[in-house]
Structure 1
Amino acid sequence: MANTELESTKRTVKGLAWFAQIMTRNKRFAPLAPGWKGAMILLAALVCPIFFMQGYFLIGERGLGDYLTGVVLFMLAVALITGVLAGLLHWAKRMPTRYVWLALASFCLLIVSFIGPVQLMLATALSMVAAFSLLGAILFRWVTGAYRKAKTIAKVTAVSAALAAIAFIAVGGCWLASGGNAELAKPYRLKTMKPADRYPAAMENPAKPGPFAVKTLTYGSANSYRKEFNAKDSLVTRQVDGSAFVKNWSSIRTHTFGFGPEAMPLNGHVWYPDGAGPFPLVVIAHGNHVATEYSDVGYAYLGNLLASRGFIAVSIDENFLNTSPYDDLFMLNVLEKENPARGWLMLQHLKVWDGWNKAKGNPFYGKADMSRIALIGHSRGGEAVSVAAAYNRLSAYPENANIKFSYNFGIRSVVSIAGTDGQYKPAGQPTVLKDVNYLALQGSHDMDVSSFDGASQFSRIRYTGSGDYFKSSVYMHGANHGQFNTVWGRTDGAGLGNKLYNIAQLIPQEEQLQAAKVLISSFLEATLHEKKEYGAVFRDLGHAREWLPDTMYISNYWDSKTALVASFDEDADPGTTTLHGGRLVGEGLKEWKEEKVEMKFAPAEYGAVSLSWERAPGARLPSYTVVLPGGESGIRPNGAIVFSMADRDDKKKASGKNELVDLTIRVEDKNGSRAELPLSSAGSLLPMFEGKIVKWPFASALPIKEPVFQNFAFRLADFKKINPSFQPEQLQKIVFAFDKTDQGTVLIRDIGIRSGSE
């Protein structure tokens, strides 16, 4: 027994001595141990092709010379930076400096190659470095004979580790190559929730081509960087000085596009009706994308449809303001504060159209109705349209009042498609719009603008009481960011980073384009052609059930005919209404508080009242009461009570197995006469939709749901039918009685009284 212990001790000492020898002989310029050398070789052999592939996704369109130059220079920069870090880590003597250097460089290159959610970027890069290093070390040691005299246990351990690394790499490769896992159920599809017998067909499909033949042309500044804007029949525009609206425009960007910020071109694609006119003018602005993969051509599907239905549609070129990894030195020297320029350029295009409309001999002389203009924007363009609409009514540039504005065009309607919000704030203030029609579209599976940012701008649309306007938002399950643009498509990330996302849950692109056509065309028909019947689509999407893809939707609506009672944005007092003199009373509630609405990644800037209840036998019925101020109310018998509500139960899954929240809406007049209707009589309150935008098993690593408000309207005349003694014009109280669902949490905002029935 003693001899065995002695031999074991000797083997342990020899092992430690061998390990110490390996560690101490790895001087900076000494030969690497076979394992480390193998790790370096395989790591370099695998990471370099991956990065060259990602480099092609980002800058390959520029041509072979720029592609090789950009990729090699970036790799050299990473090598230099990580070499310094490796040198700093060399003191630890735990790994050879050259391996540490290469591992750090590989880690950085893999981070760039898999741009996406931070957690997944780090996990992907770290696991690939570890797996490739382990496999390379074992294989190299085996090939060079390092295991010939090793003990059996060492060989078995090495083989097992190699097989584990190979299995990990194979499984990881299959995981990256897959599209993810598809959604299993959509229990609240539009046609399921909106029965056909409630929506008699009364309108023509707005996505159907109209009666006009469509003509096309382009226009652009002379010697444009893109030939299509200087075609034989193209109209010529002047360049404009936008240097005050951007920062950090590099000389490399100037070389790429052939101009600096002081000479921005006005380029556009036009689709227009073959007719006498005048026709409403619609200007479309794309968002941020790789600058050399042109985004403006991705809205031809909208341009052709709108032109056939009697609109002049223009998709403008703002690609020179987009991300350009080559010009931006792979994000080390990016263009800054370009958001104001996006909106300002839209107004410069409108100035051109105003001039053409007045110029005899121009093809568009008298063709454009400059009193009926709509702006459509996607992504950053979705914020730019609000900036343009705000600038349109300002006297000067908020950041430099020496730059005077005098636009005042007839911008009636604004559409934000998956728009950003708050990237630019005029004079540090959120962008507020007044007396304009507004539509915000958003997908539950947006992998770029992952929270519904357009809802914030929706909350900042104000109506002064003059004119007939409305605002609406539509949240669509299964829609992503890019499929609204035919160039961008199903991938919202950059290159290989798309492999981290769960694109299997997306609806087909043709369905997402169909939804955009139906909603945008309906909106413009209602607000520019003044076909008011199409406004019904936004009060209740059931009117579009036969046109829209049959997925799940949540929509919201508000109009200028509605007097606001409570928005929950005005103060911190939970007992007061926005309307002076009103009161708010809660009874029997588990939770009652006013708060900023918590979206996926941050609180929104708009507020709501959060009401939570849990009914118990014998306890007081949970309720929430809005008490209107006394005096002359101005409420009409044919008016309606309206409000927006969202289910806030984040433990509920949209699987169809959970009970939908229902409650009672009760009204009471000044004489005490009451009437009530269930919430479900006006529509079902849908749960929060799950948008698992990254693949399993990381789907829950990011937030997957957020509260989206849907509108409800109850006609006062319907309450009077239930109780003829109820007097709508004497309305005093609106009660939300939580008597139908045992427990739950809801958010309520924008309670109001609408004058006149629809």
Structure 2
Amino acid sequence: MNLEYEITESKRITSRLRNRLAGLHLRDSGVWKGAIAALWLLTCAAVAAAAMGMPTGLGKPFDVTAGIALNTMGMAVASWLIAALLAICGCRVPRLTVGSLLYTGVLLYVVLFFSELGWKASLLYSAACALAAAGAGLLAGAMARLDRRGLRRALGLAAVLAFVAALLWSGLPQRFMPGGAGVDDAAQRTAEGDQREEPPLFSDPSEPGSFAYREFTYASGKDKHREEFGRQADLVSASVDASAYINNWAWLRKQFWGFDEAGLPLNGRVWMPEGEGPFPIVLMVHGNHLMENFSDDGYGYLGRLLASKGIAAVSIDENFLNYSVWSGIPDEDMKPRAWLMMKHIEQLQAYALQETSPFYGRIDFRRIALLGHSRGGQAAAMAADASRWFTGDAGLPPSDSYAIQAVIALAPTDTEVDGKRPELRDISYLTLQGAKDADLVNFYGDRQYGRVSFPSHDSAFKASLYIEDANHSQFNTSWGRSDNALPAGLFIRPQALLPAEDQRMIAEVYVAAFAETVLLDEAAYEPLFRDYRTAGGYLPDTRYYNQYENGDFRLLADFSGADREVPSPGATAQATDLSDWRHVNALNRQGEAKSDRGVLLEWQDEGSYTIKLDDASVRLADADEESILMFSLANMSRDLEEQIENEEEPEEIEALESAMETPLAIEIELRDDSGNFARLPLDEFMEAEPQVETRFTWLPGIEEIVAKGKFKDAEEPVYQTYELPLEEFRAANPGFDPSRWASLTFYFREGPGKVMLDSLGWIAGG
């Protein structure tokens, strides 16, 4: 009896479920079909964007098509399962539509979350976008079913809604608009800025030279993806075993490349000048990009320019060390990157001994420069300071068989490797960084710059250039305009970027001038590194900040100690009417120390800061009116924004806002030990421009949450080097004796204001 009852009850339940499931889609007719179609289109767009940001190496058409196909199947299955659950529960709703809506919301949330948007913003935007798409689909479905009069009403309503949306959109703060504000503002800043009007002191370094050159490749000959490194390679190179530095080569990585860490290829693109030689050489290496999107061909514009000037160039392939969505990235990849650069030097040395090789007798291995971009910039510095990491590696070329004269770092990283960072000695150094770099938002080249020194006081020098409207990727022609892979690149979009060709022109000007100066002893370009304004019309219109120091620089104060009254041994300091003055570390956008201390000076109305030079007769014995006072100063007036938030008086707020946007009024006074002095305004030499403010996202309210707060602070203080010839002070007061110079005072006018001062010293003129 019980068994019969259970069978009957089971049949009844089964019949009820079958009946409910039979009408699963009946409520999804009519306008609801439009909602489902709109949600499907939205998910396809999201998946396509994600697929383009996680390439398989089979090509974008395959990646996008496969992503859309998988999404379509996933949406169908998920929507049916959700609809089935709703039907079983007896919910009288359009079940497939609800299932599609939930699937869309979850998919969008996952895409946004892994775009580093943060869980709150991801939840908000995924829900809003899914509901908006469903609403648009419903509207389209309704319009399709209306008669002519109803259709006109619907179209009118849609037009009104579109107008309101456009009005709201245009009313958003300009800084959030993609590509909006900033283009005209940048031009206006330059037009009003501190640009020298006199003609340049030298010819345009970005113009090609007189050398013809030849392009070719060397490679293992086994590359699975590029013929120029495969069967079409002009020279066959060796494979090298990097297993001492890599121990986690992923299986998928081996399948993609066809080799593992024990057989890394030495692949290079070469631009070789025609002629007898021997020529100096620049080895260039890319940074970390998506492994499947090859990076090594992105510096051809630099290779061709250098070769035309009689400098051989090689772009090194290290794509197999880069990140992949599918196989990650090798642990501790920085040492292999630097190690491979030295293995390339060894390979080139071997070629140079082969009479049939195009390298035979044509390379001067005593004149080598290393150029790196991003992680490549750190790898170049590490290779130049190889004894810090590779002393025990007998497989590298002997250190006395070559000489690295220079390092060029384009937006470099600066991470610790084995608890150490590179420190260059008597090696010339150049670094370039964009203020709108959305990958490496901090100026890490500034830290590398601070660790370059010249103990031998030779002809080496160091220089840096901070470029307001430049980003990370545009230094490489293969990386595109965005610094972030899709879909994150949809949201992280700094405004008013320089055009790619302009940014690369800046690289051409500085890299070519630097290489010619260091490798070819071309002295004409030295003024460029000391003052960017000497380039005249060669540089695109934007703001620049440059630092410079050479082996002749005599340091007077570095502010490294804890006692603010002792800026350096042999000097004392005092302040008058300053609201704050202390020795502190310069900070990056995240508030982290750059490991470079300076003196912070802040004033409300006006104030002064004086450094007295004890034993000045010893420290300045060689100084004369041809000598040049040098110091680095960062205008930090934008930090006054914190005071604005706490200020209630409109006049005070207006004064603070004005101070944030205008150059500082500073006067410099030099006094000798007899009391003779001369005082000159700083803007006679160069204006103290406000620090650069950068907004990295166009959606309002997400700066502080996207990428775990990476873009929270809109500014990073960056130093500008100022040069004040002592002859100018002598002209202002002939009684002032530079050789008996005893003190220096900064007078700050028209407050409020805030600066950071570092590296105060002098060099001989002439």
TM-score (norm 2): 0.80
Match of 1:535 among 504, 520, 526: 526
1:142-190 CA deviation, whole Å, 9 max, x = no partner? Answer: 999xxxxxxxxxxx9xx99999799879999999996444433234428
Q: 1:257 to 1:663 in 2, by over 3 A?
A: same
The range that moved more, 62-71 or 265-274, is 62-71
Question: Partner of 2:728 in structure 1?
Answer: 718
Instruction: Give the whole-Å Cα distance in 1 for the aligned partners of 2:192 and 2:169.
Output: 39
**Structure 2: which amino acid aligns with 1:731?**
W
Segment drifting more, 284-293 vs 670-679: 670-679
The corresponding residue for 1:613 is 603
Shift of 1:530: 1.1
Distance in 1 (alpha carbons) for counterparts of 2:721 and 2:80: 58
Structure 1 residues 30 and 668: CA distance shift in structure 2, 3 A: farther
Q: Indicate conservation of the 8 Å contact 2:366/2:404, yes or no.
A: yes
Residue 133 of structure 2: aligned partner = 132
Q: Say which SS state the counterpart of residue 459 (structure 2) adopts.
A: coil
Q: Shift in Å at residue 532 of structure 1?
A: 1.7
Q: Which amino acid aligns with 1:722?
A: A
The Cα shift of 1:444 comes to 2.1
1:476 shift after superposition = 1.6
Q: How far has the Cα of 1:216 moved from its partner?
A: 0.9
Higher mean alpha-carbon deviation, 387-396 vs 278-287, is at: 387-396
Partner of 1:339: 334
Instruction: Output the CA distance in 1 between the equivalents of 2:72 and 2:179.
Output: 29
In the alignment, what sits opposite 1:206? 205
1:371 aligns with 2:381: no
CA distance in structure 1 between the partners assigned to 2:77 and 2:538 by the alignment: 57
Residue 392 of structure 1 contacts residue 406 of structure 1 at CA under 8 Å; is this kept in 2? no
3-state SS in 2 of match to 1:396: coil
- Residue of structure 1 aligned with 2:663, choices 651, 660, 665: 660
> Does the 8 Å CA contact 1:190/1:545 hold for their aligned counterparts?
no
CA displacement at 1:741 relative to structure 2:
2.9
Conserved? CA contact 1:642–1:752, under 8 Å: yes
Show the counterpart of 1:646.
634
Report sequence identity in percent: 29
Over residues 460-518 of structure 1, what are the superposed CA-to-partner deviations in whole Å (9 max), with x where a residue is unaligned? 21221342111111112222222211112322221343332446512222211211111
Separation in 2 of the partners of 1:447 and 1:307?
Answer: 31
CA-to-aligned-CA distance 1:9-53 (integer Å, 9 cap, x gap) = xxxxxxxxxxxxxxxxxx999969869999777534521342034
Shift of 1:284: 0.9
The aligned counterpart of 1:494 is 485
1:272-671 correspondence runs (5 A) = 272-325=272-325, 327-328=326-327, 333-391=328-386, 395-396=390-391, 406-407=398-399, 409-422=402-415, 425-502=416-493, 505-568=496-559, 570-577=560-567, 579-605=568-594, 606-615=596-605, 621-629=607-615, 632-638=618-624, 639-650=627-638, 651=641, 658-671=661-674
Shift of 1:229: 2.0
**1:679 equivalent in structure 2:** 682
Q: 1:674 to 1:495 in 2, by over 3 A?
A: same
Shift of 1:674: 2.2
Partner residue in 2 for 1:242: 242
TM-aligned CA deviation for residue 78 of structure 1: 12
- Are the aligned partners of 2:602 and 2:755 in contact in 1 as well (CA < 8 Å)? yes
* Distance change in 2, residues 1:172/1:50 (3 Å): farther
For 2:569 and 2:81, locate their aligned partners in 1 and report how far apart those are by CA, in whole Å.
65
> Which deviates the most, 362-371 or 74-83?
74-83
What RMSD in Å do the two structures reach over aligned CA positions?
Answer: 4.4
Report what 2:251 is aligned to: 251
Instruction: State the shift of 1:100 in Å.
Output: 9.0
What is the CA–CA distance in structure 1 between the aligned matches of 2:499 and 2:248, rounded to whole Å? 39
SS in 2 for 1:717: helix
Secondary structure of 1:632 counterpart: helix
Q: 1:439 to 1:72 in 2, by over 3 A?
A: farther
Change in CA separation of 1:554 and 1:117 when aligned onto 2, cut-off 3 Å: farther
- For the structure 1 residues 163 and 716, does the alpha-carbon distance in structure 2 shift closer, same or farther, using more than 3 Å as the test? closer
Matched, 1:727 2:754: no
Partner of 2:765: 757
Cα distance 1:426–1:681, how it changes in 2: closer, same or farther (>3 A)? same
CA contact (8 A) 2:112 2:488 kept: no
The answer to whether the aligner puts 1:107 opposite 2:115 as a matched pair is no
Contact 2:44 2:68 in 1 (8 A): no
Shift of 1:591: 1.0
User: Per-residue CA shift, 1:684-720, capped at 9, x if unaligned?
Assistant: 1111123233226458654332221110112233323
- Do the aligned partners of residues 310 and 259 (structure 1) sit closer, same or farther apart at CA in structure 2, a change above 3 Å counting? same
CA distance in 2, matches of 1:634, 1:615: 34
The residue type equivalent to 2:221 in the other structure is A
Distance 1:76 1:459, change over 3 A: farther
Are the aligned partners of 1:191 and 1:550 in contact in 2 as well (CA < 8 Å)? no
Q: CA deviation at 1:340?
A: 2.0
Counterpart code for 2:580:
E
Query: Displacement, 1:292?
Result: 2.0
Q: CA deviation at 1:280?
A: 0.9
| 2:647 counterpart residue number | none
- 2:716 maps to which residue? 706
What is the DSSP-based 3-state SS (H/G/I as helix, E as strand, rest coil) of the residue aligned with 1:47? Answer: helix
Aligned residue in 1 for 2:47: 51
Q: For residues 434-469 of structure 1, give each alpha carbon's deviation from its aligned partner in whole angstroms, at most 9, with x where no partner exists.
A: 221111111222222222221121112122134211
The residue identity in structure 2 corresponding to 1:376 is L
Q: Secondary structure at the match of 1:245?
A: coil
SS in 1 for 2:724: strand
Change in 2 beyond 3 A, CA 1:269/1:140 = same
In structure 1, what is the Cα distance between the partners aligned to 2:684 and 2:102? Answer: 67
**Residue 62 of structure 1: which of 42, 47, 58 is its match?**
58
- Contact in 2 for aligned 1:180/1:696 (Cα 8 Å): no
Q: Structure 1 regions of 5+ residues with no counterpart?
A: 1-26, 86-90, 145-155
Cα distance, 1:549 vs structure 2 = 1.4
Shift in alpha-carbon separation, 1:532–1:122, aligned structure 2, 3 A: farther
Contact 1:555 1:709 survives alignment (8 Å): yes
Structure 2 letter corresponding to 1:219: Y
**CA distances 1:237-284 after superposition (whole Å, capped 9, x unpaired):** 111122333353211111001111111111111111101111111011
Over 3 Å counting, the alpha-carbon distance change for 1:240 and 1:391 in structure 2 is same
| C-alpha deviation, 1:547, in angstroms | 1.3
Cα distance in 1, alignment partners of residues 721 and 657 from structure 2: 19
Corresponding letter in the other structure for 1:591: D
Task: Quote how far apart the aligned CAs of 1:678 are.
Answer: 1.8
- Helix, strand or coil: the match of 2:244? helix
